A and B are shown apart, each in its own frame.
Chain A
């Protein structure tokens, strides 16, 4: 693999940029791999990369039913942050955020990580109390958090409706200045290029249709491109976790729902940070191209449709317009949706399953993108050693029957009320 560099670009400029090579191969599947990862999204590709890079494994395949990064990796709102409330989530997401800060160098691929600040808005005294408590919890675990006054919020985001008769009055905020956004596709492509250069086979258009069992263990997968044997198999398919685990006879604590996002035409810089409101469940940021990216609640019913419902879109846009009235002048140019696997406590699942040699990474709800590096790192450790890393041990699949749920919002086993 040739290194990308400014010097290479300059040299390319002299010979018509003819030096570019495909960033990864398109190999035929082999008959056996030591480790197979099902799902070529950011998490799956990151897992493969760290398996090869950190654990020195050579015989690894990533199987992807469509094209890499074509699922939720390419359908999210690209927000990166670690401003959670509970310690296991702090540990995992902060580990990830620290990796984001060096990811472009690590991969020699510009993931355009932009720590522009991730700000929660508070709309009432009760909101501000909750944000202060969250900020305290974060600082106790060594994560940056600053409570903001109304004036500070207004200074950072002058276009917010700060009037006293606003539909959603703004009393203040909580900002994590190290949070921000990244370029979603570049994350998948960067990890793919890195993994491929370390010998990982990335096999696209290869859907897993079943598992090959030997007693209580899995020993391979049936795919649309034939049978492939494997030592260990890792499921990493986001919204389709329930479906793929179902092929192995497992019933998971997840329900798949649609999550929508949308983007406006590009305009000059007008939104400086990532504005989020958890009381409303609305988030707004501006992409580097200038489009205003909106997101809202999931469609709160089960769906694998990968297309959104205007009813839910309207709610997200109405909230956005109430917060930033200037947005009403912009045209919406694209909307899309992904299938998210909503877990029953809102936290992800990374670890072993009751089937020997079969592992699961899923249940990321609507918050998987920011965790891509940490998810890959811990899942690679789990797949390489057969045991969870300290960071993902609390996120075991059996935590529900042990009563050890990690319920950030305290809403119980109801994904549709999260």
Chain B
């Protein structure tokens, strides 16, 4: 099992988290139908590093972005998203 460092709760087991989607799969509010289609239905899906959105569902329930290598499972960065992460 991986261990993630929640920006709010610190290091926790992956079992507390649920994967949502990648950052490039978030449809922006002003997206054209073509852009929305690409965001919803295609992924970079790299054999390497990608930015993923996870939720600390069984903890503080906050969303976060985790930058993870899909081959080695190495995590290079974690950052909060949502109102608390705004300046």
Contacts and interface: CB of A to CB of B under 8 A. Distances in A.
Interface stretch (B15-23, B56-64, B75-83): B15-23
Contacts of A243: 45-47
Nearest to A401: B37
B8 interface: no
Contacts of B42: 251-253, 400
Interface residues of B, number: 26
A311 B41 CA distance: 28
B1 A301 contact: no
Contacts of B54: 301
Nearest to A415: B43
Contacts of B14: 309, 311
B45 A252 contact: yes
A293 to B, nearest CB: 24
A240 interface: yes
A255 B37 contact: no
Interface of B: 1-2, 14-15, 18-22, 37-38, 40-47, 50, 52, 54, 70-73
Nearest to B70: A304
B43 A251 contact: yes
A407 B38 CA distance: 18
Given A311-B14, A401-B41, A304 B21 contact: no
Given A251-B42, A253-B42, A255-B45, A302 B50 contact: yes
A149 to B, nearest CB: 38
A74 to B, nearest CB: 19
Nearest to A414: B21
A304 B71 CA distance: 5
B41 A305 contact: no
Given A254-B45, A309-B2, A311-B15, 4 more contacts: A242-B44, A242-B46, A256-B70, A309-B14
Contacts of B47: 240, 242-243, 256, 304
Contact of B52 (A251, A301, A309): A301
Nearest to A309: B1
Contact of B19 (A251, A252, A416): A416
Interface string A293-325: 000000011111100011100000000000000
B37 A400 contact: yes
Contacts of B46: 242-243, 246
A413 interface: yes
Given A303-B70, A305-B70, A310 B44 contact: no
A400 B18 CA distance: 26
Contacts of B40: 344, 413
B62 to A, nearest CB: 18
Contact of A310 (B1, B22, B50): B1
A409 B72 CA distance: 31
